[in-house]
Amino acid sequence: MDIFVICLLTIGLFFFFGGAVGIIRMPGFYTRLHPAGILDTMGILVMVVALAIYNLHQLTFESVLLTIKILLIVFFVFLSSPTATHSIVDAGMRAGLRYWTKKKEKE
């Protein structure tokens, strides 16, 4: 079980690392939001699920309750984080910000 938890945490770390690199390296506003939105959500999802599983070492009523609470956090993050990214992109589109193209960079 520990190995499983470590695997999940490592995957989460990988996601977060990819997200951080993506925010720095990607060109343009929308392309930067893409790693920020997807990879952060996935990273936090995997990591918190790992914590929820780790918490089940002792199978008591309280630990199960705590796991359910942790899974609730996962649920709300999964719901709110992509929506926040979506609303930022939406606002950018309405404000008339053009997406990045290779041609634009050359000019």
Partner 1 sequence: MKFFGFVVVCLVGGLLLYGTADFPDWGDPDSPASTHLSDIYIEHAFEQTQVPNIVTAILADYRGFDTMFETAVIFCAGLACFLLLRDFKERKERFYRHVPTGVILHVKNSKKALRVGRDFEHIDKDWIPSDLIIKTVCRILIPFIQIYALYVVAHGDFSPGGGFQGGVIFGSSLILLAISYDLKILVRRIKEKVLGICAAAGVLVYVGIAAICMPMGKSFLDYSALEMFVFDPHHVRALGMLGVEIGVGIAVAAVMAIIYINIVSEGRHDEGL
103 lies in the site for partner 1, by CB under 8 A: no
68 lies in the site for partner 1, by CB under 8 A: no
Per-position DSSP letters for 23-75, written without gaps between them: HHH--SHHHHHHHHHHHHHHHHHHHHHHHHHHGGGS--HHHHHHHHHHHHHHH
Q: Specify the stretch interacting with partner 1 by CB under 8 A; choose among 3-11, 14-22, 25-33, 79-87.
A: 79-87
62 lies in the site for partner 1, by CB under 8 A: no
83 lies in the site for partner 1, by CB under 8 A: yes
